[in-house]
Structure 1
Amino acid sequence: MANTEMYNTKSDDVIECFLYPQFCFTSNPEQVTEELLLNEIVKYNEKTEIFTKNYIWHRDSIQFYPRTKRTLLLEKIFKGTGEAGDQIIPHIHATLRFDEDVGDEWFIVFLIYNLTKAFGGLIARISDSDGEFLLIEAANFLPPWANPETCQMRVFVLNESIHVILDKHKPLIDILNSLCHRPNAYKLSEEVQSIIRKRISVYPEEIKERVHKAKAYLPEKAAAMFQHEAGLIAPAIRMLFHSDPFERKVCRGMKYFPPEQRVMVNVKMTKCLYAMVVHCRYTGDPMTGWNLPPVNSPTYNAHLLGVKIACGLEMLVARAHEELRKRKNDENNISNNEGLPMNNKKLNSYISQLELCGYFKGLLKDSQEREKLLKLAKDYFVRNSSSSELINSSLETEADRALKLWKNVQTNDVEIQAQEESTLSPADSDSWLIIDEIQLDKLLGERWDDRSSKGHKQSSQNLRGKVQDFLSEKTDVEGVQLFGDGETKSDVEDNGRIEFDTDVFDSTLQDILDLVVPGGDGEFDDSSEGSLGGDGEDTGEMDKYINLLDAELRTKQVMGDQSTMLKSPDKVELNLMESLSREAGGSGPTGNIIGGPIQKLMHLKLQSPSTVPPDLQS
């Protein structure tokens, strides 16, 4: 599938690649012509063809385009984007929209890695809507200084390795030359490299693993079209999956793929496409005449799959006819004296950009001077349009390709599809659509390379000791700081990283929720008084405050509602606990008197007087 438009990398499903052959940054940019870049593209296509030949793309296929200084300047005028003047370096560019199948994105990374290995001096930069997603993949092993601000547009792939240059003020041409002459100075750690290599190590075996073969009962012409171009299955399924009831109206008549003559065939698609079409609830218009067999029939799934694919093709060809009609109307609307071979919409967009940039100097419309400037702008547009993929109207859309193939397939071509069903190869099992809990855990473990469960268990077992250490610490205005074995405050301050392990967090949180405050069961080695960190004298002072406060609260309770006290004497006994609980760890009179440690214990959900430490029980 052709890459039909220039996508904004802010979209969630677009990957963008910049390839800098060595001659692009070691010679004068003015001397790098499109011919040189096109010759380099031919080499890249030959190198990647062995992997992409039978690859089923979800949306776009990767296509390389030359970008010279002239092309970049035109793009800057046309789109209002582009690099700064001193950053304009000729290069080879590619964008690809992968939509729902992120596998296409990592396949592109695999291809770029192979190109940097095969062509010495080739430097590549790859990004998507998340920015430097290669660093995101290896986030757990990045150095402390690596963050989105310092690494944006500073991540490069050279000789199958990731390099980062931090100097934001360094021109791009100097960055590329520095990487070429001293690559080891900017190369990230081997841990980072291994994470990315592991992510793409599934290729090229994954190319076969991602394919699902199924049986489909298709209209004969649709079956013949898939024989000529198997990749057409992707736009057909996506068209059906994303269609609305208004677009599906064309499927009532099935003008282009009538259901009267159908044949059972094998079709190949990616597992992502198969999952999409299986879970699409559209079953065709009942008035069309699909004549589906009973649901319990062994051929029902093949018939239903054929209906869905045929309807997707029907909508695709219908859209192509509509686009063709609109293009003809646009061409008729262009005046003869303009003589432009591209559609009027792109021309108007180009002129609007010139208007915003002040090109026309505020001149009145239809004035002689403005018309002269307008003619110069149009001539420049026509002269440069052949070198820019942004405004080249010769590129085909998916719908155009489907329509062209539909026209080229002759009636006698469909006869070769009329095979006996017994001669077809069996469909692949779709059991992979259902994953149980064990399989999911295994997949997640393989994907994220979790730390050993032994380390998790040890961290969980040390929780009670850490709680005891926390309660025993004396604090200042900055709060309690606990350090590991052999660790000092300076060591913690020097280490600017904050590591977060989700599994340790989950197990630790569960232990906290299950923890019972010690009440003489010997769960902690020290007594509850020792756990509070006070000696005998300090505890006596605290008891005085507690008894005084408790007496005052009892008096107020008796004065406020004596009858309630007689009915519920236990309520008075727990007034101190209720006061702490209502403060919920915030500022309050009870918490200010008793202090922080007991407040911390209140967060452990004291549920009954039996779980209250002895020194707090009346």
Structure 2
Amino acid sequence: MSKLPGANLEFVREDDFVEYYIFPKLAQQQAQPAEEELRQQLEQVRVECMEIVEKKVDERCYIWHKDQFQLQVRTGSAEERLLNDEQQQDEEQHEGAALPPHLHGVTHYGDNISDEWFIVYLLSELTAARPDCIARVCDSDGEFLLIEAAELLPDWASPETCEQRVYIVNGGLQLIQNSTTDSQQQCLPMATAVQRIRLNPTLYRCSQDIQSCIDARCREFKTAQPHASIHRQIVQLPQNAAELLKQRPALVASAVRAFCERDSLDTKAMRSMRYFPPESPRIRTNVAFTRCLYAMLMHSQYTPERRLGWQLTDAVSQPECYKEQLLGVKLASGLEILASQAKQSSEEQTPAWRAYLRSLQGKGYFRDNLEGSAEYVRLLAAAKQHFKSNQQRFRTAPLVGAEIVELLLHTGEGNAAEQLRDEQNNLLPSDADDWLNISAEELDAMLQQRYGPQKLYNPNGDVNAAEFTKQLSQFLDRQSNFEGIETKSDAAAELDSDDDDEPAEPESTASGSSHSKVKKNPSMRKACQQRNSLIQSEEQDSTHVRNFLDFVIPEDNWDSNSEMSDYADEDDIERNFDALSSASGMGPDSYRLDRNIKAYMEQMDRELAQTTVGKSFQASGNANSSQRSAGEDDFDDIEDFEPININVNTLRNMMDSYKSQMGGAGPVSNLFNAMGVGMSAAAASEDKTDDLSESAV
């Protein structure tokens, strides 16, 4: 529900709009036809196009979510451009910048994106029925038709190079290629684009793959039957509300949006219910919703107040009857909100009109004419008519409310009430609404159908433990920035991308040449230094994890008879620390373990000696050796010792963590996704994680 702000005509340009142009080929009786003659020709084309559109909408019983498909005549005159608040920049430098005579429309689709693609379908049908028309459609994202087929576009296509280059001709998509003359001006004027297509209607036709992507989105609209997204539901409404929706079925969209987007003032109007009182008799009737509107109304929480007169049945004993009554209360409340917002004031008293008039005066629309003169009065009348017609294009709440109040004055007349009572005995059953609930399997199927099958690391779920830990180590070697993970080679290439394209000079002359490298300013040099320091810190952080993966057990003496004699012997502990120190660094500046860490590890070993944590590690060996009892595993015989397999244990622990996430987001799944590893259900199953081995899991 749009609240009309105190601005000019640009209040309609919200984020949920789709804008479309239709350029017809007009008959030129003279070199420069008069504006009135152009307007008559465009009006004739507009009427014929709207007949095609209305026929398609009626065949499919389509319900617009917010605004309808409408076309306005634009001749391209200077006065009209001022009224439409169009920018006239670069018209002096570019002769073809001004738009040729055309039809223009803006439609807000709100929360229902299907309206946008239905307009694409309508434009395709229009251009197919009228080959003399060239259409263009865009939205707040720009050329959204190319976004749908982004993976199939040519290499030169980008959001900058494709602006105003996408058109619908003869029902198909055309993309005007970038030429050498467009290098200085990437945004091609629409007048130039239309002229190029007129000269060669088939030169810029898109490939069949791109066209198939657009046709797939519009396929649901091609069948001439009630649209698949229409949901029919039996609703109990007050009699005047039922008659209202019988005459204007499209009002259901405005009523649902008004109820779901209500504020404190709207809630106050719902407590009075002056236009649709709860004590009035209620009747059961069929109401057609779009699935979007029905879902919005069902999920909008509201408990009717009994003191207002809403008497509903028990929700537990009669759930279907309760749903019909509750939906009727919500619809009646939405209609009440709209009726309470009806305003009959003239346009001179609205803030929007005053702001629009000030903008026209600032742009020199009245051309220094004295206020009250004949020319000033004519221009002012034209501005008022243009403002009023543009307001009527969009179904704002005050206009819809005024329409509801006008229709309520004539309810109860004729045989409408009798027809509704007769239809109560022959109502169509309500459609099933199980589509509101979707299972995880159905969601996966929808995503797979939309984006293709997921690329798993291994389709059969088998993962090589050594290869997995190798990839994990390589992943930890990488560095990240705000754009994602990158390798060292990528970072070096990015830093070297500032170099000139000139060939490299020999080493003897490279140091003395000032043209082999781009001269970096102090800010760029400082950024590079900060980047290098960040890389070094990241490498130090990842070193500890790599040491864990590449852990090497040093040589030890196993000549004691005690089970924990190795940990009790101080000489052996010293030798172990020395071995670890020598393994962790090979220079005078290498890291040496201090006495605090030694004492900490001694205490940790004594505590771990009394636990069974060692049994949780997988040893490298055959399956028979892993089945020995705990009493036999006493390390008495050095030949029976089996070293720990770090690869298998790392993978096993990560698989256990992944299984505990139960398919949800978590640290392991996020790490897998960043590494490019997708785990299948077989890889995370109970049987797999319990039977890990060194070769295959």
TM-score (norm. length: structure 2): 0.62
Unaligned runs of 5+ in 1: 332-342, 362-368, 483-492, 494-512, 521-541, 572-600, 609-618
Distance 1:75 1:252, change over 3 A: same
> Tell me, what secondary structure is at the counterpart of 1:266?
strand
Q: How does 1:241-260 map to 2 (within 5 A)?
A: 241-259=260-278, 260=280
Distance 1:103 1:394, change over 3 A: closer
Is 2:322 the partner of 1:300? yes
1:356 — aligned with what?
Answer: 362
2:210 — aligned with what?
Answer: 192
2:147 — aligned with what?
Answer: 136
> Tell me, what secondary structure is at the counterpart of 2:42?
helix
Is 2:441 the partner of 1:438? yes
2:403 — aligned with what?
Answer: 401
Supply the distance in 2 between the matched residues of 1:151 and 1:228 (Cα, whole angstroms): 45
Q: How does 1:375-524 map to 2 (within 5 A)?
A: 376-383=375-382, 386=385, 397-411=399-413, 413-419=416-422, 421-448=424-451, 450-451=452-453, 457=459, 464=467, 479-480=488-489, 517=549
Native 8 Å contact 1:65 1:92 kept in 2? yes
Is 2:63 the partner of 1:56? yes
> Larger C-alpha radius of gyration, 1 or 2?
2
Shift of 1:65: 1.0
1:173 — aligned with what?
Answer: 191
Shift of 1:181: 2.1
1:214 — aligned with what?
Answer: 233
2:163 counterpart letter in structure 1? Q
Supply the distance in 1 between the matched residues of 2:461 and 2:39 (Cα, whole angstroms): 60
Supply the distance in 2 between the matched residues of 1:193 and 1:459 (Cα, whole angstroms): 37
2:284 — aligned with what?
Answer: 264
- 1:484-513 per-residue CA deviation (whole Å, 9 max, x = no partner) reads xxxxxxxxx9xxxxxxxxxxxxxxxxxxx9
Shift of 1:544: 8.5
- Between stretches 75-84 and 204-213, larger displacement belongs to 75-84
> Tell me, what secondary structure is at the counterpart of 1:246?
helix
Supply the distance in 2 between the matched residues of 1:552 and 1:173 (Cα, whole angstroms): 71
1:314 — aligned with what?
Answer: 336
Supply the distance in 1 between the matched residues of 2:262 and 2:449 (Cα, whole angstroms): 36
Supply the distance in 2 between the matched residues of 1:174 and 1:220 (Cα, whole angstroms): 57
Is 2:235 the partner of 1:224? no
Shift of 1:105: 0.8
Aligned residues, how many?
495
Shift of 1:152: 1.6
2:417 counterpart letter in structure 1? V
- Between stretches 409-418 and 100-109, larger displacement belongs to 409-418
> Tell me, what secondary structure is at the counterpart of 2:174?
strand
Native 8 Å contact 1:163 1:183 kept in 2? no
Distance 1:178 1:310, change over 3 A: same
- 1:555-607 per-residue CA deviation (whole Å, 9 max, x = no partner) reads xx13x687557646899xxxxxxxxxxxxxxxxxxxxxxxxxxxxx9xx9999
2:623 — aligned with what?
Answer: none
Shift of 1:379: 2.5
Distance 1:411 1:256, change over 3 A: farther
2:359 counterpart letter in structure 1? Q
Supply the distance in 2 between the matched residues of 1:394 and 1:194 (Cα, whole angstroms): 33
Native 8 Å contact 2:252 2:331 kept in 1? yes
Distance 1:179 1:103, change over 3 A: same
Is 2:116 the partner of 1:109? no
Structure 2 residue corresponding to 1:286, chosen from 293, 306, 310: 306
1:275 — aligned with what?
Answer: 295
2:42 counterpart letter in structure 1? L
Native 8 Å contact 1:385 1:392 kept in 2? no
> Tell me, what secondary structure is at the counterpart of 2:237?
strand
> Tell me, what secondary structure is at the counterpart of 1:140?
helix
Native 8 Å contact 1:68 1:89 kept in 2? yes
Supply the distance in 2 between the matched residues of 1:231 and 1:435 (Cα, whole angstroms): 28
> Tell me, what secondary structure is at the counterpart of 1:148?
coil
Shift of 1:372: 4.8
Native 8 Å contact 2:98 2:191 kept in 1? yes
Greater helix content: 1
- Between stretches 157-166 and 234-243, larger displacement belongs to 157-166
2:585 — aligned with what?
Answer: 546
Distance 1:283 1:185, change over 3 A: same
Shift of 1:136: 0.8
2:558 — aligned with what?
Answer: none
Report percent identity of matched pairs: 27
Supply the distance in 2 between the matched residues of 1:285 and 1:58 (Cα, whole angstroms): 29
Distance 1:544 1:179, change over 3 A: same
Distance 1:359 1:300, change over 3 A: closer
Shift of 1:245: 3.0
Shift of 1:141: 1.1
Unaligned runs of 5+ in 2: 92-96, 479-486, 492-500, 502-544, 553-580, 608-646, 655-697
Native 8 Å contact 1:134 1:196 kept in 2? yes
> Tell me, what secondary structure is at the counterpart of 1:216?
strand
Native 8 Å contact 1:65 1:389 kept in 2? no
Distance 1:300 1:93, change over 3 A: same
1:408 counterpart letter in structure 2? H
TM-score (norm. length: structure 1): 0.69
> Tell me, what secondary structure is at the counterpart of 1:410?
coil
Shift of 1:270: 0.9
1:74 — aligned with what?
Answer: 80
Shift of 1:232: 1.4
Native 8 Å contact 2:369 2:375 kept in 1? no
Distance 1:570 1:80, change over 3 A: farther
Distance 1:52 1:467, change over 3 A: same
